[in-house]
């Protein structure tokens, strides 16, 4: 203790010093944290403005839900989810890159214009796609009106409001982008000289003879390609070798676990048993909901709204019958027809919505609804009552009108009331949204409809099938490393596939669906690494190896050597062939004389135009044909290095086109072709100038 007392000051100073050091060290360590670790909630940034993952993901969920609705319900596959991610990212890019440009020129979308884009005679493409009838593939205006009416009656916190606002913002962004593109297009013009030159390139004909010294005449083994040869070609074409984003190349083996005949038989047996149970069931809708892979709505349907085979069976069966099984797209289907009737094709209706909570309870709300109904029946104006009493903000401004809607667009209790009623009826109906006072304005058309409980079972791979494929995959996985991938594949009689230059957001490899986890692994691995596990996709297992990494930006020579090897070798061959042709040209006054020295026979090429520089039967030869149009007739050219070999040509004559009769039409045609490219080129220019960080692959 005496020792500690004598040295207490030293101990305290040392402790405080250590604490300060630890604090500073922690700050230094945090400062040195990689970007991805310090920005773990950022899906990316555009010109320094970060995009939060939560906000981005909410947009993706809304877009995915729209896709799901367009597909008629069900579950979205990974490919559709990937499209949703890409669409949302594109929206962020468009908005961010064009925002400053649009603000500078003062472009806006006013409310009347937005209304026209949503509900006008020609709605925007986003609206048409979002409210497309999955059966007809056509825009369904009734579906749009029904959705707007329902959104107006939903609580403010309901997700449908967010979906609608996101869709409207997308419509606005697209319209602003179109206006900006129009401004750019209006700055484009074509001169008479340009139009005349374009006309001549398409119509002036060249007739010439040529001799070709083909590169294939020199064996590859006899050619030595030096580092200088590679560098010369690389330096001449440096602008071509730029990667817009980082890419990876993979070698991979797919172990197929698709359903076998035994799997099909197993599912057939299951669906047959379910058919017997469904026939005896007294709770048909519940039975279907519990046993069906696809949760079909238990609602009335018109002919043509189901698969053709099932549709035919259901509409030819009497109520109480159980039909099937049938096979459609790898799925067994059965159905029990519960009811059949004749319904209107569509209904036009208005409603007044009451909120029981705001009215002091369900009984009071019911009594108020009955009173309002009585007023309507006594001749009171429905529209005025809707404006006064309805809590549906979306429809009350239109006097409660919901527009015209088809079956399946409203909640079942509402739908049953208006489709089972008749024109002029005033009904009171309770739904999950509140109490509705409904007036049926009109019922249009009539069709036979059927309500059926549908059960389906997809043919999937059984455990034995999956295990057999997995055992093969694990056997291969256990034997490979970064150096023997191909050798082991050959020993096990497997056929590896190759996917070149894939991006971080890929969901497919050469047409094969793969899990996103595999792509994420590939972009974290080093060149030569093999997968850290056997990856599972739908009915398949995958093992892969990273064969190449191409960084974003200017690619080094070593990275592109393999890709340019053939063309560089041909360039070396061209030097030899040019020397031969040059020697043969010494003292020769015609192409025939040069051909004789080379043991060749001149070949005629007729009616060649500069706009389509193809030598018939040979190849596209831009340099050769371009040279032809700069030559004088009856004079052999110098040797020309082409794509297929070395050429010597001699023009026999040109055929000049007639003077164009309508230069204005030519200018207009050329301007249209230019403006069609202007929008994409403008956006590309803005994108190239922007500072874009894309971290999507970390999250999706």
Supply the pLDDT for residue 509.
87
Burial of 209 (0-12, 13-18, 19+ CB in 10 A): buried
Q: How many CA atoms lie within 13 A of 119 on its CB side?
A: 12
Q: Name beta bridge partners: 346.
A: 444
Q: Which run of H or of E encompasses 332? A: strand 331-343
Q: Examine the pLDDT at 2 and tell me if it is beyond 50.
A: no
Three-state secondary structure call for residue 582:
helix
Q: Which run of H or of E encompasses 43? A: strand 42-46
- How far is the C-alpha of 475 from the C-alpha of 471, rounded, in Å? 6
Q: Note whether 46 and 179 are same-domain residues.
A: yes
Q: Examine the pLDDT at 239 and tell me if it is beyond 90.
A: no
Phi/psi for 653 (5° steps) reads: 170, 165
Q: Note whether 336 and 417 are same-domain residues.
A: no
Query: What value does the mean pLDDT take over residues 517-546?
Result: 92
- How far is the C-alpha of 403 from the C-alpha of 350, rounded, in Å? 7
Supply the pLDDT for residue 132.
79
- For residue range 545-576, what is the model confidence (pLDDT) as tens digits? 999 998 888 889 988 898 899 999 999 999 99
Closest among 459, 462, 461, 460 to 332, alpha carbons compared? 459
Cα–chain center distance at 89: 11
Burial of 37 (0-12, 13-18, 19+ CB in 10 A): exposed
Q: Name beta bridge partners: 615.
A: 619
- How would residue 74 be classed by pLDDT, with cut points 50, 70 and 90? low
Q: Name beta bridge partners: 429.
A: 436
Supply the pLDDT for residue 143.
79
- For residue range 622-652, what is the model confidence (pLDDT) as tens digits? 999 999 999 999 999 999 999 999 999 999 9
Q: Are 445 and 427 in contact (CB under 8 A)?
A: no
Answer yes or no: is 668 within a domain.
no
Q: Which residue matches tokens 């297929």?
A: 644
SS (H, E, C) 158-213: CHHHHHHHHHHHHHHHHHHHHHHHHHHHHCCCCCHHHHHHHHHHHHCEEEEEEEEE
Phi/psi for 542 (5° steps) reads: -135, 135
Q: Examine the pLDDT at 676 and tell me if it is beyond 90.
A: no
- How would residue 136 be classed by pLDDT, with cut points 50, 70 and 90? low
Q: How many CA atoms lie within 13 A of 633 on its CB side?
A: 7
Q: What's the mean per-residue pLDDT of the chain?
A: 87
SS (H, E, C) 398-448: CCCEEEEECCCCCCHHHHHHHHHCCCCCEEEEEECCEEEEEEEEEEECCEE
State the pTM of this model: 0.62
Q: Note whether 130 and 154 are same-domain residues.
A: yes
Query: What value does the mean pLDDT take over residues 583-590?
Result: 93
Domain boundary among 554, 588, 616: 554
Closest among 485, 545, 562, 475 to 509, alpha carbons compared? 545
Q: How many CA atoms lie within 13 A of 198 on its CB side?
A: 16
Answer yes or no: is 435 within a domain.
yes
Answer yes or no: is 240 within a domain.
no
Q: Note whether 252 and 275 are same-domain residues.
A: no
Domain boundary among 310, 343, 376: 343
* Token pair listed for 502: 């894939």
Q: Note whether 277 and 321 are same-domain residues.
A: yes
- For residue range 378-397, what is the model confidence (pLDDT) as tens digits? 999 999 999 999 988 778 88
Phi/psi for 92 (5° steps) reads: -60, -45
Checking phi first, is residue 78 left (phi over 0); if not, alpha (psi -120 to 50) or beta?
alpha
Domain boundary among 444, 479, 501: 444
Answer yes or no: is 450 within a domain.
no
Q: Name beta bridge partners: 301.
A: 450
Q: Note whether 21 and 118 are same-domain residues.
A: no
- For residue range 27-53, what is the model confidence (pLDDT) as tens digits? 444 444 443 344 568 888 988 889 989
Answer yes or no: is 265 within a domain.
yes
Q: Are 610 and 625 in contact (CB under 8 A)?
A: yes
Structural domain range at position 59? 42-186+692-698
Answer yes or no: is 416 within a domain.
yes
Which residues touch 362 (CB under 8 Å, ≥6 apart)? Answer: 356, 435
Q: Note whether 57 and 164 are same-domain residues.
A: yes
Closest among 525, 536, 560, 562 to 248, alpha carbons compared? 525
- For residue range 275-330, what is the model confidence (pLDDT) as tens digits? 999 999 999 989 999 999 888 878 888 887 777 788 889 988 999 999 989 998 88
Q: Note whether 327 and 388 are same-domain residues.
A: no
Longest dimension (CA), the chain: 116
- For residue range 173-189, what is the model confidence (pLDDT) as tens digits? 889 888 988 888 888 89
Q: Note whether 172 and 86 are same-domain residues.
A: yes
- How would residue 660 be classed by pLDDT, with cut points 50, 70 and 90? confident
Answer yes or no: is 392 within a domain.
yes
Q: Note whether 76 and 145 are same-domain residues.
A: yes
User: What is each CA distance from 303 to 327, 328, 345, 347, 596, in whole angstroms?
Assistant: 19, 17, 11, 18, 77
Q: Are 241 and 555 in contact (CB under 8 A)?
A: yes
Which residues touch 378 (CB under 8 Å, ≥6 apart)? Answer: none
Answer yes or no: is 671 within a domain.
no
Query: What domain count does the chain have?
Result: 6
Supply the pLDDT for residue 544.
94
Q: Note whether 289 and 380 are same-domain residues.
A: no
- For residue range 434-493, what is the model confidence (pLDDT) as tens digits? 999 999 999 998 888 898 999 999 999 999 999 999 999 999 999 998 789 999 999 999
Burial of 446 (0-12, 13-18, 19+ CB in 10 A): exposed
Q: Examine the pLDDT at 542 and tell me if it is beyond 90.
A: yes
Q: Note whether 133 and 268 are same-domain residues.
A: no
- For residue range 317-365, what is the model confidence (pLDDT) as tens digits? 999 999 989 998 889 999 999 999 888 888 999 999 999 988 888 999 9
Could you tell me the CATH number of the domain that includes residue 536?
3.10.50
């Amino acid at each position: 203790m005496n020792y500690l007392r004598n040295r207490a000051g030293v101990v305290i100073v040392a402790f405080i010093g250590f604490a300060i050091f630890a604090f500073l060290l922690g700050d230094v360590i945090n400062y040195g944290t990689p970007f991805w670790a310090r920005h773990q909630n950022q899906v990316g940034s555009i010109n320094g403005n970060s995009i939060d993952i939560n906000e981005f993901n909410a947009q993706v969920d809304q877009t995915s839900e729209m896709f799901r609705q367009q597909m008629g319900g069900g579950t979205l596959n990974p490919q559709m989810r990937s499209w949703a991610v890409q669409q949302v990212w594109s929206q962020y890019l468009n908005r961010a890159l064009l925002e400053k440009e649009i603000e500078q020129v003062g472009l806006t979308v006013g409310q009347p214009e937005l209304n026209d884009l949503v509900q006008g005679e020609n709605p925007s493409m986003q609206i048409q796609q979002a409210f497309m009838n999955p059966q007809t593939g056509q825009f369904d205006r009734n579906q749009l009106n029904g959705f707007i009416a329902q959104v107006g009656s939903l609580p403010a916190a309901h997700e449908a409001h967010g979906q609608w606002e996101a869709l409207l913002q997308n419509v606005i962004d697209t319209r602003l982008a179109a206006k900006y593109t129009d401004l750019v297009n209006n700055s484009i013009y074509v001169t008479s000289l340009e139009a005349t030159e374009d006309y001549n390139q398409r119509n002036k004909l060249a007739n010439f003879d040529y001799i070709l010294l083909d590169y294939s005449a020199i064996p590859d083994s006899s050619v030595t390609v030096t580092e200088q040869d590679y560098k010369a070609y690389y330096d001449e074409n440096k602008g071509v070798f730029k990667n817009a984003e980082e890419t990876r190349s993979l070698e991979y083996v797919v172990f197929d676990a698709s359903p076998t005949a035994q799997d099909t038989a197993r599912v057939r047996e299951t669906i047959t048993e379910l058919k017997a149970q469904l026939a005896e069931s007294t709770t048909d809708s519940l039975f279907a909901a519990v046993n069906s892979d696809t949760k079909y709505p238990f609602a009335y349907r018109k002919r043509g709204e189901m698969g053709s085979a099932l549709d035919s069976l259901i509409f030819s069966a009497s109520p109480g019958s159980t039909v099937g099984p049938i096979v459609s797209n790898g799925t067994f289907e059965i159905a029990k027809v519960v009811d059949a009737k004749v319904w209107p094709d569509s209904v036009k209706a208005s409603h007044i919505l009451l909120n029981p909570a705001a009215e002091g309870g369900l009984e009071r709300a019911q009594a108020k609804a009955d009173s309002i109904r009585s007023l309507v029946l006594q001749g009171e104006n429905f529209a005025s009552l809707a404006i006064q009493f309805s809590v549906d903000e979306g429809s009350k401004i239109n006097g409660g009108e919901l527009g015209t809607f088809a079956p399946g667009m409203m909640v079942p209790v509402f739908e049953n009331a208006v489709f089972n009623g008749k024109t002029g009826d005033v009904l009171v109906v309770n739904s999950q949204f509140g109490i509705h006072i409904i007036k049926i304005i009109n019922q249009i058309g009539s069709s036979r409809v059927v309500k059926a409980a549908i059960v389906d079972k997809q043919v999937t791979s059984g455990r034995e099938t999956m295990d057999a494929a997995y055992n093969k995959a694990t056997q291969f996985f256990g034997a490979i490393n970064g150096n023997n991938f191909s050798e082991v594949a050959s020993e096990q009689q497997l056929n590896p596939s190759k996917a070149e230059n894939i991006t971080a957001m890929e969901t497919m490899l050469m047409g094969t669906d793969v899990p996103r986890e595999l792509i994420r692994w590939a972009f974290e691995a080093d060149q030569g690494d093999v997968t850290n596990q056997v990856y599972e996709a739908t009915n398949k297992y995958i093992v892969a190896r990273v064969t190449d990494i191409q960084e974003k930006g200017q690619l080094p020579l070593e990275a592109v050597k393999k890709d340019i090897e053939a063309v560089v070798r041909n360039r070396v061959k061209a030097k030899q062939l040019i020397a031969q042709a040059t020697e043969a040209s010494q003292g020769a006054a015609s192409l025939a004389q040069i051909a004789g020295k080379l043991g060749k026979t001149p070949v005629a090429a007729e009616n060649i135009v500069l706009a389509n520089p193809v030598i018939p039967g040979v190849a596209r030869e831009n340099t050769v044909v371009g040279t032809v149009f700069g030559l004088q007739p009856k004079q052999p050219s110098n040797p020309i290095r082409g794509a297929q070999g070395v050429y010597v040509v001699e023009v026999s004559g040109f055929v000049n086109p007639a003077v164009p009769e309508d230069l204005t039409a030519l200018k207009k045609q050329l301007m249209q072709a230019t403006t069609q490219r202007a929008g994409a080129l403008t956006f590309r220019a803005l994108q190239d100038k922007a500072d874009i960080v894309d971290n999507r692959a970390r999250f999706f």
